Amino acid sequence: MTQKPISTGSEWTFALIQEYDQVISEIAQEFRLDTYPNQIEIISSEQMMDAYSSIGMPVGYHHWSYGKQFLQTQQNYNRGFMGLAYEIVINSNPCIAYLMEENTMPMQALVIAHACYGHNSFFKNNYLFKTWTDASAIIDYLVFARNYVTQCEERYGVKEVERILDSCHALQNYGVDRYKRPSPISAAQEHARQEEREEYMQQQVNLLWRTIPVPEDRSEVKQERRFPAEPQENLLYFIEKNAPLLEPWQRELVRIVRKLAQYFYPQRQTQVMNEGWASFWHYTLMNELYNRGYITEGFMMEFLSSHSAVVYQPPYDSKYYSGINPYTLGFNIYRDIRRMCEHPTDEDREWFPDIAGKDWLDTLHFAMENFKDESFIQQFLSPQVMRDMHLFAVYDDEAESEYEISAIHDEPGYRRLRSLLAEQYNLSSREPNIQVVNVDLRGDRALTLRHVRHNNIPLNNEVDDVLKHLHRLWGFDVHLYSYDGDTMQQSYHMPPKDNPQETSLDESLKYV
Amino acid sequence: MINTYVIDRRLNGKNKSAVNRRRFLERYRKHIKKAVNEAVNKRSITDMEHGESISIPSEDIREPSFGSGRGGRRTIVNPGNKEFTTGDRVRKPQGGGGQGQGSGDASNSGEGMDDFTFNITQDEFLEFLFEDLELPNLVRKDLKEMSDFVYRRAGFSSQGVPNRINIVRSLRNAHARRIALSGKSRKRVKELQALIDEEMAKDEVLRNGQNLADWEEELTRLQAKIKRLPFIDDFDLRYNRSEKVPIPSNAAVMFCLMDVSGSMTQSTKDIAKRFFLLLYMFLRRNYEKIEVVFIRHHTSAKEVDEEEFFYSRETGGTIVSSALRMMHDVVKDRYPPSAWNIYAAQASDGDNWNDDSPQCRELLSKAIMPLVQYYSYIEITPRDHQALWHAYEEVQANHPDSFAMEQIIDASDIYPVFRQLFQRKSA
Domain ranges for chain B, please list them.
16-61+115-129, 162-242, 252-422
Helix pair angle (A64-78, B18-27), 10° resolution: 100
Q: Mean pLDDT, to the nearest integer, of A441-457?
A: 88
Q: Which of A445, A491, A495, A444 is nearest to A468 (CA)?
A: A495
B341-B345-B349 Cα angle (round to 5): 165
Q: Is B183 helix (H, G, I), strand (E, B) or coil?
A: helix
Nearest-neighbour CA in chain A from B281: distance (Å): 28
Helix H or strand E segment including A69? helix A64-78
Helix H or strand E segment including B18? helix B18-27
Amino acid (1-letter code) at residue A26: E
Give the least confident one: A95-109, A117-131, B55-69: B55-69
How far is A39 from A17, CA to CA, in rounded Å? 12
Nearest-neighbour CA in chain B from A285: distance (Å): 17
Nearest-neighbour CA in chain B from A125: distance (Å): 17
Domain boundaries, chain A: 14-126+270-304, 138-268, 317-427, 432-508
Residues 27-66 of B with CB under 8 A from A: 27, 61-66
**Alpha helices, H only, B317-386:** 320-334, 356-362
Closest chain A residue to the Cα of B71, Cα to Cα: A398
Give the pLDDT score at B141: 63
CB-CB under 8 Å, A316 with B101? yes
Q: What is the pLDDT of residues A238-283, one digit of tens each?
A: 999 999 889 999 999 999 999 998 888 888 889 999 999 999 999 9
Q: Mean pLDDT in chain A? A: 86
**HSE of B46 in the Cβ direction (CA atoms, 13 Å)?**
3
Closest chain A residue to the Cα of B17, Cα to Cα: A50
Q: Mean pLDDT, to the nearest integer, of B161-187?
A: 92
Q: What percent of chain A has pLDDT over 70?
A: 88
Give the pLDDT score at A81: 63
Give the pLDDT score at B35: 84
Q: Mean pLDDT in chain B? A: 82
Per the CB < 8 A criterion, the answer to whether A396 and B73 are in contact is yes
Per the CB < 8 A criterion, the answer to whether A148 and A256 are in contact is yes
CB-CB under 8 Å, A162 with B23? yes
How far is A47 from A52, CA to CA, in rounded Å? 9
Per the CB < 8 A criterion, the answer to whether B144 and B380 are in contact is no
Q: Whole-model pTM?
A: 0.74
Q: Mean pLDDT, to the nearest integer, of A322-334?
A: 93
A197 has a pLDDT exceeding 80:
no
How far is B193 from B184, CA to CA, in rounded Å? 14
The residue length of chain A stands at 512
Q: Mean pLDDT, to the nearest integer, of A308-329?
A: 90
B79 has a pLDDT exceeding 90:
yes
| pLDDT, greater one: B257 or B250 | B257
Give the pLDDT score at A370: 93
Q: What is the pLDDT of residues B105-142, one digit of tens each?
A: 333 333 344 678 888 888 888 888 888 777 777 776 65
CB-CB under 8 Å, A459 with B75? no
How far is A173 from A183, CA to CA, in rounded Å? 20
How far is A170 from A265, CA to CA, in rounded Å? 15
A84 has a pLDDT exceeding 70:
no
Q: What is the pLDDT of residues B389-424, one digit of tens each?
A: 988 998 889 888 889 898 988 888 888 888 888 888
Give the pLDDT score at A427: 76
Give the least confident one: A213-217, A480-484, A496-500, B257-261: A213-217
Give the pLDDT score at A184: 54
Amino acid (1-letter code) at residue A284: T
Q: For domain B252-422, which CATH number applies: 3.40.50.970, 3.40.50.2000, 3.40.50.410, 3.90.25.10?
A: 3.40.50.410
Q: Mean pLDDT, to the nearest integer, of A70-80?
A: 80
Quick one: pLDDT band at residue A171, thresholds 50, 70, 90? very high
Quick one: pLDDT band at residue B148, thresholds 50, 70, 90? low
DSSP B383-409: S---HHHHHHHHHHHH-TTTEEEEEE-
Tell me the three-class secondary structure of A347-404, residue by residue.
HHHHHCCCCCCCCHHHHHHHHHHCCCHHHHHHHHCCHHHHHHHCCEEEEEECCCCEEE
**Cα distances (Å, whole numbers) of residue B313 to B172, B302, B316:** 76, 13, 10
| Residue of A61, A162, A420, A462 best to disrupt the B interface, most CBs of B under 10 A | A462
Nearest-neighbour CA in chain B from A162: distance (Å): 10
| Residue of B2, B62, B78, B108 best to disrupt the A interface, most CBs of A under 10 A | B78
Q: What percent of chain B has pLDDT over 90?
A: 16
Q: Mean pLDDT, to the nearest integer, of B274-296?
A: 82
Q: Mean pLDDT, to the nearest integer, of A230-236?
A: 88
Q: What percent of chain A has pLDDT over 90?
A: 52
Q: What is the pLDDT of residues A12-68, one digit of tens each?
A: 999 999 999 999 999 999 999 999 999 999 988 888 888 887 776 788 899 998 888
- Farthest-apart Cα atoms in chain A, separation: 91
A70 has a pLDDT exceeding 80:
yes
Give the pLDDT score at A207: 63
A177 has a pLDDT exceeding 90:
no
How far is A463 from B216, CA to CA, in rounded Å? 98
CB-CB under 8 Å, B63 with A101? no
B368 has a pLDDT exceeding 80:
yes
Q: Mean pLDDT, to the nearest integer, of A402-412?
A: 90
Q: Mean pLDDT, to the nearest integer, of A116-138?
A: 91
Give the pLDDT score at A329: 95
A396-424 as b/e: b if 16+ CB within 10 A: bbeeeeebbbbbbbeeebbeebbbbbbbb
Nearest-neighbour CA in chain B from A148: distance (Å): 16
CATH 3.40.50 for the A432-508 domain, yes or no: no
Q: Where are the beta strands (DSSP E) in B184-307?
A: 239-246, 252-259, 291-297, 301-304
Give the pLDDT score at B2: 61
Quick one: pLDDT band at residue A110, thresholds 50, 70, 90? very high
Quick one: pLDDT band at residue A183, thresholds 50, 70, 90? low
Quick one: pLDDT band at residue B349, thresholds 50, 70, 90? confident
B321 has a pLDDT exceeding 50:
yes
CB-CB under 8 Å, B80 with A390? yes
B101 has a pLDDT exceeding 80:
no
A503 has a pLDDT exceeding 70:
no
How far is B407 from B347, CA to CA, in rounded Å? 10
CB-CB under 8 Å, A407 with B9? no
Quick one: pLDDT band at residue B87, thresholds 50, 70, 90? confident
Residues 335-374 of B with CB under 8 A from A: none
Q: Mean pLDDT, to the nearest integer, of A177-195?
A: 65
Q: Decide the pairing of beta strands B403-408 and B374-380.
A: parallel
CB-CB under 8 Å, A67 with B20? yes
